[in-house]
Structure formats: structure tokens, C-alpha cells
């Protein structure tokens, strides 16, 4: 079965790109990616640009769509990236998610029903 792991954290706590701290932080993500690949779990994954680059389209029945700058939800955590993984069951995915090098944040895990 395939699962989506959505990664949400406070993006203001991430180290700045181009710094030694960022390079060190990324090493942990590289090791995690290698672990997923070696275990045959990785289908795809990506990090997202900061929320300042976001565009949101709001759709409401009977009204034209509205496009606004920025993320839709105002929360303390922002969607920062995702993985699509393959595993026999949710317990395996929970074990993989536990290995994510994310010191604080939330992981939302959902089974996929259709991939195009």
C-alpha cells in the first residue's frame, strides 16, 4: 500500500539556506532518504519552498475562484514537504516516520487511494 507523509513544522526554525547549519541539517534528511531507498519504501518526496512563495486558489460553489498570495491557513506550523512511501501497513510507515530528522512538528500520514 502507498502512504503520504505530510511534514508540517514552523518554517521559521529551519536554518537559512547557504549556511553551514543548513548543510548539516540536510545531512539528516539525506540519511533518511537513503534509509527509505534502501528499504524499498521511497516512491517520491519533495521539500516545499517557504510559504512566502505560496499562491492559494479558493473555490466556493456558485462563485468564481479567487487567487490570493500566501498560504490559506494561518497556523503555527506550515506544510514543508512530503513523502510518498510504500509499506505493508501503517505500523511500518509509523516506524519510518519516527526516523524523520524533524526535531519538532507534525506528521500527517494517509493511505493513498489513487495515484495518477
The mean pLDDT value for 38-64 works out to 90
End-to-end CA distance of the chain: 15
Under the banding of pLDDT at 50, 70 and 90, the label for residue 71 is low
CATH code for residues 2-111: 3.30.70.1060
pTM here is 0.86
Only one residue has cell 528499504, namely 39
Question: Average of pLDDT values for 30-49?
Answer: 96
Q: Which helix (H) or strand (E) holds 93?
A: helix 90-98
H or E, element range at 58: strand 55-58
98 Cβ contact partners less than 8 Å away, ≥ 6 residues apart: none
On whether the CB atoms of residues 48 and 80 are closer than 8 A, the answer is: yes
The full set of domain ranges for the chain reads 2-111
Confidence (pLDDT) at 115: 74
pLDDT at 85: 97
Q: Would the pLDDT of 53 be above 90?
A: no
Give CA–CA dist 10/4, Å, rounded.
Answer: 20
Rounded CA-CA distance 50/28 in Å is 20
Amino acid at each position: 500500500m502507498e502512504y503520504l507523509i505530510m511534514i508540517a513544522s514552523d518554517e521559521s526554525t529551519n536554518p537559512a539556506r547557504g549556511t553551514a547549519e543548513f548543510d548539516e541539517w540536510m545531512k539528516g534528511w539525506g540519511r533518511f532518504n537513503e534509509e527509505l531507498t534502501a528499504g524499498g519504501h521511497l516512491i517520491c518526496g519533495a521539500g516545499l519552498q517557504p510559504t512566502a512563495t505560496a499562491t492559494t486558489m479558493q473555490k466556493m460553489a456558485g462563485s468564481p475562484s479567487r487567487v490570493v498570495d500566501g498560504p490559506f491557513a494561518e497556523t503555527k506550523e506550515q506544510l514543508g514537504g512530503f513523502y510518498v512511501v510504500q509499506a505493508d501497513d501503517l505500523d511500518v510507515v509509523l516506524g519510518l516516520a519516527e526516523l524523520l530528522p524533524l526535531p519538532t512538528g507534525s506528521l500527517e500520514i494517509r493511505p493513498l487511494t489513487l495515484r495518477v
